[in-house]
A and B are shown apart, each in its own frame.
Chain A
Amino acid sequence: MNIGAYIVRRLALMVLVLFGVLVITFTVSHVIPADPVGAILGPQAPTHLIDKINAEWGFDKPLYEQFLMYLRNLLRGNLGKSIQTNNAVLDDIMMRWPATIELSTTALLFALMLGIPAGIISAIKRNSVLDHFVRVFSISGLSMPVFWLGLMLLFLLYFQMGVLPGVGRLDTSIEIGRRITGLYTVDALLQGNREAFINTVRHLIMPAFVLGFSATGSIARITRASTLEVMQQEYVNTAKAKGLSERLVVFRHILRNALITPVTIIGLTYGGLLEGSILTETIFAWPGLGRYATNAFMMLDFQAVMGVTLFIAVIYSVANLLVDILYAYLDPRVRI
């Protein structure tokens, strides 16, 4: 199959899956008898007011009609209105997504830069002290409650030692200037604002480390396993027998194949990071989608919940699609 047809087929599947996601979230948020209107107005609200609001939001219509209405609006780019902020959900998401993307991308970079070398070294120096350390580190990364790690680092690095800033994306005293991309690091760089850049990077370090912690562990594990597997292949022995130096064998022969597996899970990892950002943003008061979603869930603000869920599902699917295309490119065996 050529790569164009592959992409088209995957895109079609993606649309189907996203539709399914919508159906699931819609069902979950509408069938289960939660009472968003009651939650906003409180228990003492007069019935005629509740009825009026129910009618206004379409809550009194049959479920399939509500769903069709939602779909119609969605196709026009209207994700409905948030109860908590009273803004259009789409605007809310647009305002907040760069913060989340900046955080989770930095976390992914952390995880890749630490996890891949750790996994490779751990495999090459199998059963050494370093190998044991990497394995303990990665398995505790998988067992760590991220929100707890965040709190402990906050206590240590911010409250006790004061080496890193605590919460938010930027000190309140510093101006970022114009919003260009919404990514503070990029905006600061584009405007040549050195002070803001350094400040926002310092703000990023702790949350990104916390968010990327368990991902680092799983990437190290997978890289280690796949490197070990490649090292057992015949062609590696051949390369060694030819008298190639160890460095050359590792860099030219082992790495190329060993890195395929870690690459394929980047998409999944990124999805996991978006998920983790919910907890991380709550702790570091990071003004992104995660915190928005948490508040939306608390207030039973289901238009916002569905909007955020759909948005994240789209990013998640696109990331996975990109990775699969990359995979197909790296490993010709996949293209069948």
Chain B
Amino acid sequence: MTETKKGWLYRHRYQLEDIRLMVRLLNESLTAKIGIILLSCFVFMAIFGPTLSPYKPLVQDLTNRFVPPSSEHPFGTDQLGRDIFSRVLYGSRISLVMGIVVTSILFVIGTTLGLTAGYFGGRVDELLMRLTDMFLAFPSLILAMAVAAALGPGLFNTMVTIAFVAWPRYARLARACCLQVKEETYIEAAKAMGMSHGRILFTQILPMILSPLIVQATINLGGVILTAAGLGFLGLGAQPPEPEWGLMISEGRRFISNQWWVSGFPGIMILLVVLGFNLIGDSLRDVMDVRMRR
């Protein structure tokens, strides 16, 4: 009972020290800083965009079609006279929410399946591995297109599609990490103490393998946004008049000969937000590498 007396902070002092070290290392890395700044901007846009935006994203103004970027319309207007800056602001909410929701689903499903398979081994494991083999045997965009086409377009279906296509990678990663940990002596000790399988999995193994999974999730957030934009671009994702970035690029495509800004700005947004996630994911991975070498 002495343990509980000393409190949560004391019992978790090693984990906390690790986190503090990671924060310090991240603070030293330039790429991490750039990534964090980029992402903070997008989170800010997603939260406050609707209040900040000078125009309504769906309001058409046919007298002001294809206005080039100017002080009144910083990103210009599109074929229906809608203000692209406002649409891009609203779009950041769509893309970020999609990224976060899909990645969370992937994280939960992939980790659960991977952990179970890795921990119990045997037939379950074999079955899961062969299943993921099949998913990974062909380009995921094609499968995503097939699912999206069959489900029909729309934002919700896009999220379902991407989750359906992307879970095997997580499952593989979680399984591989679990295999590394499960033979450790402390797991054996936990078993000897009579701890249940479920408790071992979630209180003993999961915390140990969380870091690679988080790195993967960070990088994957960018990937989800890219895929969603790609599906939107192909007409299999978001539908007009939704201000989704991929769809906006696709709408501007017909006018690319002169009005570059219609497609141009939504694309820059995609590039920057995905870059932000990649930079952070990369630096996180470096930081964790250092920790292993320590």
Contacts and interface: CB of A to CB of B under 8 A. Distances in A.
Contact of A25 (B140, B143, B253, B275): B143
Given A145-B270, A297-B149, A159 B139 contact: no
Contacts of B230: 145, 147, 279
Interface stretch (A16-24, A184-192, A195-203, A233-241): A16-24
A151 B263 CA distance: 8
Contact of A151 (B138, B235, B253, B277): B253
A275 B139 contact: yes
A29 B147 CA distance: 7
Given A148-B267, A151-B267, A159-B257, A278 B146 contact: no
Given A151-B249, A152-B260, A278-B142, A24 B135 contact: yes
A294 B256 contact: no
A99 interface: no
Contact of A305 (B131, B138, B146, B277): B146
Given A25-B146, A155-B257, A312-B139, A148 B271 contact: yes
Interface of B is mostly: helix
B133 interface: yes
A67 interface: no
B271 A316 contact: no
Contacts of A23: 134
B145 A144 contact: no
Contacts, number: 139
Interface in A89-141: 139-140
Contacts of A151: 249, 252-253, 256, 263, 267
Interface in A291-312: 293-294, 297-298, 300, 305, 308-309, 312
Among the interface residues B137, B250, B263, which one has the most CB atoms of the partner chain A within 10 A? B137
A216 interface: no
Contacts of A275: 139-142
B233 A147 contact: yes
Contacts of B137: 17-18, 20-21, 313, 316-317
B146 A28 contact: yes
Interface of A is mostly: helix
Contact of A159 (B147, B258, B279): B258
Contacts of A309: 138, 142-143, 146
Contacts of B260: 152, 155
B216 interface: no
B219 to A, nearest CB: 9
A154 B257 CA distance: 8
Nearest to A34: B150
Among the interface residues A148, A272, A278, which one has the most CB atoms of the partner chain B within 10 A? A148
B146 A279 contact: no
Given A145-B229, A275-B141, A309-B138, A20 B133 contact: yes
Contacts of A297: 145-146, 148-149, 234, 236
Contact of A278 (B130, B141, B282): B141
B149 A143 contact: no
Given A20-B133, A155-B257, A140 B271 contact: yes
Contacts of A152: 260, 263-264, 267
Contacts of B114: none
Contacts of A28: 143, 146-147, 150
A21 B146 CA distance: 12
A212 interface: no
Nearest to B267: A148
A32 interface: yes
Among the interface residues A17, A149, A151, which one has the most CB atoms of the partner chain B within 10 A? A151
Given A34-B152, A143-B271, A145-B246, A155 B145 contact: no
Interface residues of B, number: 49
Nearest to A305: B146
Nearest to B139: A275
A271 interface: yes
B275 A140 contact: yes
A137 to B, nearest CB: 12
B49 to A, nearest CB: 20
B256 A155 contact: yes
Among the interface residues A23, A24, A34, A308, which one has the most CB atoms of the partner chain B within 10 A? A24
A208 interface: no
Interface in B119-158: 130-131, 133-135, 137-143, 145-152
Contacts of A20: 130-131, 133-134, 137
B139 A298 contact: no
B141 A24 contact: no
A227 interface: no
B274 interface: yes
B222 interface: yes
Interface of A: 16-18, 20-21, 23-25, 28-29, 32, 34, 139-140, 142-145, 147-149, 151-152, 154-155, 159, 271-272, 274-276, 278-279, 282-283, 293-294, 297-298, 300, 305, 308-309, 312-313, 316-317
14 contacts: A17-B133, A32-B151, A143-B274, A148-B249, A148-B271, A152-B267, A279-B233, A282-B234, A283-B253, A297-B236, A300-B149, A312-B138, A312-B139, A317-B137
Interface of B: 130-131, 133-135, 137-143, 145-152, 222, 226, 229-230, 233-236, 246, 249-250, 252-253, 256-258, 260, 263-264, 266-267, 270-271, 274-275, 277-279, 282
List the 4 shortest-distance A-B pairs measured between CB atoms, nearest first: A148-B267, A275-B139, A20-B134, A313-B138
Given A24-B135, A142-B274, A297-B149, 18 more contacts: A18-B137, A20-B134, A24-B134, A32-B150, A32-B151, A34-B152, A140-B275, A145-B274, A147-B249, A148-B270, A152-B260, A155-B257, A272-B139, A275-B140, A298-B149, A312-B139, A313-B137, A316-B139
